[in-house]
Amino acid sequence: MKRINLTFILLVCSSAASAQDYIDLFKFDYANTPVNKFDTTEVTTRLQEINGDLTVPIAINDNFALLTGITFENASASFNPDRKVESLTGITLKLGANIKFNSKWSGTYLILPKISSDLKKISNQDFQFGGAVLMKYSKSSNFSYKFGVYANNELFGAFIVPIFGFYYLSLSQKFEVKVLLPLTADLNYSITKSVRFGLNFRGQVRTYNVNTPVELETNRYLTKSANDVYAYCQYGMKNGLNFQLGFGRSFARSYRMYNEKVSLGIPLYYFGNNRTQLNMDFSDGWLFKATVFYRLKLGKTTANRVKNIEKPNTDSLVE
């Protein structure tokens, strides 16, 4: 079981690296933006988001492991001044493998089938299919490069995201940097063995099928585009439970409804975008975030086994 868990962290979780002495097995977070004002009105809405991530790997040998897991996402708010609060959910199955080619190079390969909608009924429009490839080059025991691509058939059409990042851990093992742009970035510093302060960025594009029609409009979907930056304080208990409280701000955030497609989507640009927005935007806002996760400390023997499999880790492609 320890070997399986360690392989899981090396391949999927954003917290593991060759110089680290811990792994995070499960993560759950809740974010709340209490006041969001719609454009040109005095109407406001509360945005609440819940995310969970779990991965169960199957280690075949020191160089190859199968990956399985699931992520859960939920956002609830009123997405137009004249609509009631709606709940949108995404459930993604993670299936793939990690292959270590040599002491420097390794690759993670994932297929990502998903159901993404308000779940009021299930149809073909609620299903999406994506995949990701992430290569890693370990330059040293505390520094590595990562690059790859993520693709998904979003409801607006094909969406392709080139990925580039790196991992760094200082020699003192107090300062840590985890970057996987344009998806995530995290900088953190350890004050004591139990207390850590950090700064986190998270960017997302998601689409959800909206099964409830409005008048004569059909095939409606909501596109979420979010860029959240927040500072956090983290406290770890001896039993492995960790608690994180964050406060920050969303930037250039939108939850827009459409019923038309584009030719191709990439970060920050959509080709052939002649869509008409069917709802009203609400403002960016301050966000409060609470996270809990279970962290397993590694002994020297276990840590050496981790290094033999892969060093250091790749960040999660689907948070």
Percentage of residues in the chain with pLDDT exceeding 70?
A: 84
Confidence of residue 69 (pLDDT cuts 50, 70, 90): confident
Residue 6 φ then ψ, to 5°: -65, -40
In a domain, 317, yes or no: no
Per the CB < 8 A criterion, the answer to whether 107 and 133 are in contact is: yes
Is pLDDT of 221 > 90?
A: yes
What's the pLDDT score for residue 62? 82
Strand 86-100, strand 64-77: pairing: antiparallel
Question: pLDDT tens digits, residue range 265-291?
Answer: 999 899 999 999 999 999 898 999 999
What's the pLDDT score for residue 112? 96
Question: pLDDT tens digits, residue range 172-189?
Answer: 889 999 999 999 999 999
Report DSSP letters for 127-166, one per residue.
EEEEEEEEEEEEEETTEEEEEEEEEEEETTEEEEEEEEEE
d(CA 245, CA 289): 6
Question: pLDDT tens digits, residue range 124-150?
Answer: 999 999 999 999 998 988 899 999 999
Range in 87-91, 108-112, 245-249, 303-307 with the lowest mean pLDDT:
303-307
In a domain, 211, yes or no: yes
Question: Pick the residue with more confidence: 57 or 22?
Answer: 57
Confidence of residue 315 (pLDDT cuts 50, 70, 90): very low
Look at the chain and report how many structural domains it folds into: 1
pLDDT, mean of residues 28-34? 94
Question: pLDDT tens digits, residue range 83-103?
Answer: 889 999 999 999 999 898 998
Confidence of residue 213 (pLDDT cuts 50, 70, 90): low
Residue type, position 219, single letter = N
In a domain, 316, yes or no: no
Q: Which residues of 254-278 are buried (b: 16+ CB within 10 A; e: fewer)?
A: bbbbbbebbeebeeeebeeeebeeb
Per the CB < 8 A criterion, the answer to whether 246 and 230 are in contact is: yes
Domain that holds residue 180: 2-309
d(CA 59, CA 56): 10
Tokens found for residue 293: 């996760």
Per the CB < 8 A criterion, the answer to whether 73 and 30 are in contact is: no
What's the pLDDT score for residue 117? 95
Tokens found for residue 146: 């990562």
d(CA 208, CA 151): 16
Is pLDDT of 18 > 50?
A: no
In a domain, 118, yes or no: yes
Phi-psi region of 272 (alpha: psi -120 to 50; beta: other; left: phi over 0): left
Residue type, position 287, single letter = L
What's the pLDDT score for residue 23? 62
